[in-house]
């Protein structure tokens, strides 16, 4: 029996076919976990018996990732999907935002703290005279770490073009940490004025990276 304590109404996320589906625990037994029918962008997504799923479970003290299989369905006031109890699981560091290694070239530019309009921020990166080059080193839902050649100061605001898969995300950031290794400036950036949709997109991308890493272990 797994050491995970599954609690009613705790949050569950299902990763399947490249997307994350939201759900919650509705029933628990020694043989299964009963969850509400998962949703994606407000639409119900019923799974079928035998579907193999990647699961993220939000416990009271820890976050867990594991693999499970759909073993059936039942109705308990509401329709629920039954998942097999995992034999193995992995704890995920419970911070506000999990940080993962992510190496990509980026374009960035210094901007005024007062500017928050996305069209204006994007315009900075469309002007070649403003563009500077750097490398993102790691990423979280709250910020990222980059290495750059240009000297910047604590509190400076940057607009960064961050590649995620085939999409470039425009982000406004504030410099919260700077270290110099004799060659490059290693800078910690915190996201500011971020849209919730963009933050969710980044978090889902991070879980995708974590999933790939787990499969290599």
Give 86's DSSP letter. Answer: P
pLDDT digit string (tens) for 132-176?
999 999 998 889 999 999 989 999 999 999 999 889 999 999 999
Domain range summary for the chain, segments of one domain joined by +: 11-92, 100-216
- Residues 6-21 pLDDT 10s: 999 998 888 777 677 8
How many Å apart are CA 146 and CA 136, to the nearest integer?
4
Q: Please compute the mean of the pLDDT values over residues 190-202 and round it to a whole number.
A: 84
What pLDDT was estimated at residue 1? Answer: 41
pLDDT digits over 41-68, tens only? 778 888 889 988 888 888 777 778 888 9
Q: What are the start-end ranges of the H helices in the chain?
A: 118-126, 196-216
Helix (H) or strand (E) holding 125: helix 118-126
Between 124 and 214, the more confident residue is 124
**At the topology level of CATH, where does 100-216 sit?**
Thrombin, subunit H (2.40.10)
User: For residue 125, what pLDDT is reported?
Assistant: 87
Structure tokens at 129: 């005279």
**CATH label, 11-92, candidates 2.30.110.10, 3.20.170.30, 2.10.25.10, 2.60.120.10:** 2.30.110.10
* pTM summary value: 0.57
Is the pLDDT at 2 greater than 60? The verdict is no
Instruction: Give the whole-angstrom CA distance, residue 82 versus residue 101.
Output: 34
Q: How far apart are CA 133 and CA 149, in angstroms?
A: 8
pLDDT at position 130, please?
A: 84
pLDDT at 117: 85
End-to-end distance of the chain based on CA atoms, in angstroms? 23
């Amino acid at each position: 029996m797994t050491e995970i304590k599954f609690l009613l109404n705790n949050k569950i996320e299902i990763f399947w076919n490249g997307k994350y589906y939201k759900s919650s625990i509705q029933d628990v037994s020694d043989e299964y976990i009963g969850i509400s029918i998962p949703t994606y962008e407000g639409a119900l997504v019923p799974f079928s018996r035998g579907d193999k799923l990647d699961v993220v479970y939000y416990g009271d003290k820890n976050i867990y990732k594991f693999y499970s299989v759909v073993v059936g369905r039942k109705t308990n006031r509401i329709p629920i999907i039954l998942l097999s109890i995992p034999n193995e699981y992995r704890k995920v560091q419970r911070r506000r935002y999990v940080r993962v290694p992510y190496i990509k070239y980026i374009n960035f530019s210094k901007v005024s703290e007062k500017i928050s309009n996305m069209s204006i921020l994007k315009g900075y990166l469309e002007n070649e005279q403003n563009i500077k080059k750097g490398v993102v080193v790691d990423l979280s839902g709250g910020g990222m770490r980059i290495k750059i050649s240009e000297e910047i100061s604590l509190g400076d605001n940057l607009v960064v073009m961050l590649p995620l898969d085939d999409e470039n995300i425009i982000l406004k950031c504030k410099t919260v940490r700077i270290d110099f290794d004799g060659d490059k400036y290693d800078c910690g950036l915190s996201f500011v004025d971020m849209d919730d949709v963009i933050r969710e997109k980044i978090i889902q991308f991070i879980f995708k990276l974590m999933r790939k890493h787990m499969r290599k272990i």
